[in-house]
């Protein structure tokens, strides 16, 4: 069960061709390592590509960033059937995931996304923020470790925002 009902957030997941982003700010390499560890511990199916080749997910996240200049690492995580959360390892400071909003389509998939946000946030003891694509300053959904809750942010209607 989640803190926010699907009916209250469905408008944020209208499939308009853009993605939604999930951010965890100011985590550094140690935070990235915790995320790789929690992906494995949660048992979420995942696929890691280092360039064009599928590879095992490295044990140490430093390996990913050391090779970042040579290759474009991509990690696809499946926290629920039909849902794919992707990270491109843009940099070691902040974690950014992308998600196709069409993957979140009902209460069940919304609950699965909340579980993902909560699991990552708990592991890192950090706020996790879901935003429209490439707009980290506009939170739509926030997991807060202080209250261990997922809440809808104070931006009630994104349909009027310019994209």
The domain of 52 spans 13-154
Residue 67 has pLDDT above 90, yes or no: no
CA–CA separation, 108 vs 112, rounded Å?
6
Walk across the sheet containing 149-152 and list its strands. Answer: 53-55, 46-50, 73-80, 83-87, 95-99, 20-24, 128-132, 141-144, 149-152
**pLDDT of 92:** 95
The pLDDT value given to residue 1: 46
81-117 pLDDT, tens digit each: 999 999 999 999 999 999 999 999 999 999 999 999 9
CATH number at residue 106: 3.30.310
Q: What is the pLDDT of residue 52?
A: 85
Q: 135-155: per-residue pLDDT in tens?
A: 999 999 999 999 999 999 875
Q: Is residue 84 part of a domain?
A: yes
Residue 4 lies in a domain: no
Residue 1 covered by a domain: no
Q: Report the number of distinct structural domains present in the chain.
A: 1
The average confidence (pLDDT) of the chain is: 92
């Amino acid at each position: 069960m989640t803190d926010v009902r699907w009916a209250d957030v469905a408008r944020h997941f209208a499939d308009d061709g853009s993605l939604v982003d999930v951010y965890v700010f100011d985590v550094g390499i140690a935070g990235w390592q915790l995320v790789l560890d929690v992906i494995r511990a949660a048992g979420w199916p995942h696929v890691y590509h280092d360039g064009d080749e599928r590879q095992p997910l490295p044990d140490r996240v430093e390996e990913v960033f050391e090779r970042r200049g040579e290759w474009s690492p991509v990690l696809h995580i499946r926290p629920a059937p039909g849902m794919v959360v992707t990270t491109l390892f843009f940099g070691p400071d902040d974690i950014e995931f992308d998600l196709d909003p069409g993957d979140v389509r009902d209460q069940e998939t919304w609950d699965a996304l909340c579980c993902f946000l909560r699991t990552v946030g708990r592991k890192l003891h950090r706020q996790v923020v879901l935003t429209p694509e490439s707009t980290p300053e506009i939170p739509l959904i926030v997991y807060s470790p202080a209250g261990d809750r997922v809440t809808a942010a104070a931006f009630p209607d994104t349909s009027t925002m310019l994209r």
